[in-house]
Chain A
């Protein structure tokens, strides 16, 4: 199985900050990575697919990069509704696997 790791496990940030979350795959997966946001008590929300493509309705302050095994999600100008946990997932090989998540909370 492909292992997905995420760093940092958590971070504290302020409104307006730019934050970058990292996800690494244990094998080359081209750009078959998706990013999801989850706020407490809510269902996940799809943000990005194909490493860098925004889902419909996702604000442009979210952006992603992809390089085969290393992936990033950047939030430029953090907003109050952005605090929560972010997960990456690879969909290149079954079983599809998620990273453990990065929690973004208020500094």
Chain B
């Protein structure tokens, strides 16, 4: 069974930084691209970032470009989202997601339970 486990909920002040973590199990980690998708309170889903199976191809939403960095650590089966210069509009549940294959052009197959980030002013 595939399991994705994000780091716990957090409260950060405006302008602060946080690194989200996601531990992956139940699949051959290097064979799958990974994404982060967020959902603001009461709102819909918003794609944030994707990294290929090799880590060599990364993509970002315009709303986080230059502030967020996605990375992966193959020997630990972990994916990360480093978030800097946080804004109130970054408040959301952040979902870790495993894609259908190696490329960044794949759909999401599996979802984590989500981690709540609150950015307070």
Q: Which residues of chain A have C-beta atoms less than 8 A from B108's C-beta?
A: 34, 36, 44, 46, 89
Residues from 19 to 70 in B contacting A, C-beta threshold 8 Å: 37, 44-47, 50, 59, 61-62
Q: Which residues of chain B have C-beta atoms less than 8 A from A44's C-beta?
A: 37, 45, 95, 108, 111
Q: Which residues of chain A have C-beta atoms less than 8 A from B109's C-beta?
A: 46, 49, 55
Known: A55-B109, A91-B107, A95-B62. A36 touches B114 (CB 8 A): no
Residue A100 contacts which of B44, B50, B112 (CB distance < 8 angstroms)?
B44
- A46 near B62: Cβ-Cβ < 8 Å: no
Q: Which residues of chain A have C-beta atoms less than 8 A from B114's C-beta?
A: 43
- A43 near B45: Cβ-Cβ < 8 Å: no
Per DSSP, chain A at the interface is loop
Known: A36-B45, A46-B107, A55-B109. A94 touches B95 (CB 8 A): no
Q: Flag B73-107 by CB within 8 Å of A: 1 or 0 each.
A: 00000000000000000000001000010001111
Known: A44-B95, A87-B44, A89-B45. A95 touches B111 (CB 8 A): no
- A95 near B61: Cβ-Cβ < 8 Å: yes
Q: Does A28 contact B (CB under 8 A)?
A: no
**Complex CA–CA separation, A50 to B106 (angstroms):** 9
Q: Which residues of chain B have C-beta atoms less than 8 A from A46's C-beta?
A: 107-111
B residues with CB within 8 A of A = 37, 44-47, 50, 59, 61-62, 95, 100, 104-114
What are some 12 contacts across the A-B interface (CB < 8 A)? A34-B107, A36-B108, A43-B95, A43-B114, A44-B37, A46-B111, A49-B100, A55-B109, A87-B45, A89-B107, A91-B106, A97-B47
